[in-house]
Chains A and B, each alone.
Chain A
Amino acid sequence: MAQRVHHFKLVLLGDTAVGKSCLVVRFVRDEFFEFQEPTIGAAFLTQTVQLDESTVKFEIWDTAGQERYRSLAPMYYRGASAAVIVYDITNPDSFNGAKSWVKELQRRGDPNVVIALAGNKADLESRRKVEFEEANAYAEENGILHLETSAKNANNVKALFVEIAKKLPKNPPQPEREAFPIAAPQQTTNNCC
Chain B
Amino acid sequence: MADGTPQWAVPPEQQQHRQQQAQQRPDYAAQRPPAAQAAPTAPPQAPPSGGAAVVSPPPSAGAPKVNKFNRIAQMEEKVLVTRTRDEETEDGRLVNKEAMTKIRDAWVYKRVRSRVREFTSYRQALCFVGTWNVNAKGKEESLDEWICADWGQNGQYAPDVVAVGFQEIVDLNAVNVAVDNKTQQRSQFWVERLNATLNSPSRTQNDPNRGYILMMQRSMVGLLICLFVKNPHRQRVKAVSADSVGVGVMGMMGNKGGVAIRLNFYDSTLCFVCAHMAAHRENVVGRNADFMNVLSKATFDVGEQTVRENIRNGSLSQWALGSGSLGIADHDMVFWLGDLNYRIDESLPTETVLLLAERGAIDKLRTLDQLNIERSEGRVFEGFEEGILSFVPTYKYQPGTDKFEQRPEKKLRAPAWCDRILWSAQEPAYVQQLTYKRSERPNCSDHKPVYSTLRFTVKDVNAQRRESIYKELFALLERYDNRSLPAISLDKSELNFGEVRYNQSVTLSLRIANTGPSCASYRFVPKIDESTLSKSWMSVFPTYGMLVPGEQPGVVTVTVTIDNNTAKLLNAGREVLKDTLILRLENGREYYVSIKGTFARSCFGMSLDQLVLYKDPIHTIALDAIQRAEQFPNENEVSPSNALCIPKELWRLVDAMYEKGLSTPDLFTNHGNPEEVVIIREALDSGSAFGVFSIHSYAEAFTSFLTSLSAPVIPTTVFPNTEINAENIQAMTRRLLEELPPIHYNVLVYIISFFREVLLHSEKNHLTAAKLAHICLKHCAPADVVMDSAMMQRRAGMSLILIHLLVTSSI
Binding site for B on A (CB under 8 A): 1-3, 5, 28-30, 40-48, 50, 64, 68-69, 71-72, 74-75, 78, 173, 175-177, 179-193
Given A1-B108, A2-B105, A47-B478, residue A192 in contact with residue B293 (CB < 8 A): no
**B690 shortest CB reach to chain A, Å:** 41
**CB atoms of B582 and A192 under 8 A apart:** no
Bound CA–CA A190/B278 (angstroms): 11
List of B residues within 8 angstroms of A3 by Cβ: 308, 321-322
**CB atoms of B289 and A188 under 8 A apart:** yes
**CB atoms of A173 and B289 under 8 A apart:** no
**CB atoms of A192 and B248 under 8 A apart:** yes
- Stretch in B78-86, B646-654, B712-720 with 4+ CB within 8 Å of A: B78-86
Given A40-B591, A41-B591, residue A28 in contact with residue B478 (CB < 8 A): yes
**CB atoms of B75 and A182 under 8 A apart:** yes
Q: Which of B457-511 contact A (CB under 8 A)?
A: 467, 470-471, 474-475, 477-479, 481-482, 485, 493
**CB atoms of A180 and B289 under 8 A apart:** no
Q: Which residue of A lies closest to B323 (CB)?
A: A177
Number of A-B contacts (CB under 8 A): 136
Q: Which residue of B lies closest to A47 (CB)?
A: B478
**B283 shortest CB reach to chain A, Å:** 6
Bound CA–CA A41/B319 (angstroms): 42
List of A residues within 8 angstroms of B252 by Cβ: 190
- B249 within 8 Å of A (CB atoms): yes
Given A188-B289, A192-B249, residue A44 in contact with residue B589 (CB < 8 A): yes
**CB atoms of A78 and B101 under 8 A apart:** no
Bound CA–CA A2/B292 (angstroms): 29
**CB atoms of B247 and A46 under 8 A apart:** no
List of A residues within 8 angstroms of B108 by Cβ: 1
**CB atoms of B475 and A192 under 8 A apart:** no
- B384 within 8 Å of A (CB atoms): no
Bound CA–CA A81/B302 (angstroms): 35
**CB atoms of A46 and B481 under 8 A apart:** yes
List of A residues within 8 angstroms of B485 by Cβ: 44-45
List of A residues within 8 angstroms of B289 by Cβ: 188-191
**CB atoms of B280 and A191 under 8 A apart:** no
Most buried by B among A46, A64, A182, A190: A190
List of B residues within 8 angstroms of A179 by Cβ: 82, 85, 98
**CB atoms of B78 and A182 under 8 A apart:** yes
- B571 within 8 Å of A (CB atoms): no
**CB atoms of A30 and B475 under 8 A apart:** yes
Bound CA–CA A57/B579 (angstroms): 34
Could you list some 29 contacts between A and B, CB below 8 A? A1-B105, A1-B321, A2-B101, A5-B101, A28-B482, A40-B591, A41-B590, A41-B592, A44-B590, A47-B478, A48-B474, A64-B592, A68-B580, A72-B592, A180-B81, A180-B98, A182-B75, A183-B78, A184-B296, A185-B329, A187-B292, A188-B288, A188-B289, A190-B293, A191-B247, A191-B285, A191-B289, A192-B250, A192-B278
**CB atoms of B322 and A50 under 8 A apart:** no
**CB atoms of B319 and A2 under 8 A apart:** yes
**B234 shortest CB reach to chain A, Å:** 25
Given A45-B482, A50-B470, residue A185 in contact with residue B296 (CB < 8 A): yes
**CB atoms of B278 and A176 under 8 A apart:** no
List of B residues within 8 angstroms of A185 by Cβ: 292, 295-296, 329
Chain B: interface size category? 35 or more
**CB atoms of B481 and A72 under 8 A apart:** no
**CB atoms of B481 and A193 under 8 A apart:** no
Which of A75, A175, A182, A188 lies in contact with B319, CB distance below 8 A? A182
**B245 shortest CB reach to chain A, Å:** 11
Bound CA–CA A47/B250 (angstroms): 56
Name the 9 nearest CB pairs between A and B, nearest first.
A190-B251, A191-B286, A176-B322, A193-B278, A41-B591, A2-B321, A40-B493, A191-B289, A2-B105
List of A residues within 8 angstroms of B293 by Cβ: 188, 190
Q: Which residue of A lies closest to B252 (CB)?
A: A190
List of B residues within 8 angstroms of A46 by Cβ: 478, 481-482
**CB atoms of A180 and B82 under 8 A apart:** yes
- B528 within 8 Å of A (CB atoms): yes
Can you add 14 more A-B contacts, CB < 8 Å, to A2-B322, A40-B591, A193-B279?
A: A40-B594, A45-B485, A50-B470, A176-B322, A177-B319, A180-B98, A180-B99, A180-B102, A184-B296, A185-B295, A187-B292, A188-B292, A190-B252, A191-B251
Q: Which residue of A lies closest to B327 (CB)?
A: A185
Which of A40, A181, A192 lies in contact with B247, CB distance below 8 A? A192
List of A residues within 8 angstroms of B98 by Cβ: 179-180
Bound CA–CA A177/B527 (angstroms): 44
Most buried by A among B80, B108, B248, B589: B589
List of B residues within 8 angstroms of A40 by Cβ: 493, 591-592, 594
**CB atoms of A29 and B247 under 8 A apart:** no
Which of A5, A42, A181, A188 lies in contact with B589, CB distance below 8 A? A42
**A88 shortest CB reach to chain B, Å:** 22
Which of A5, A177, A192 lies in contact with B256, CB distance below 8 A? A192
List of A residues within 8 angstroms of B477 by Cβ: 48
Bound CA–CA A5/B329 (angstroms): 28
**CB atoms of B250 and A181 under 8 A apart:** no
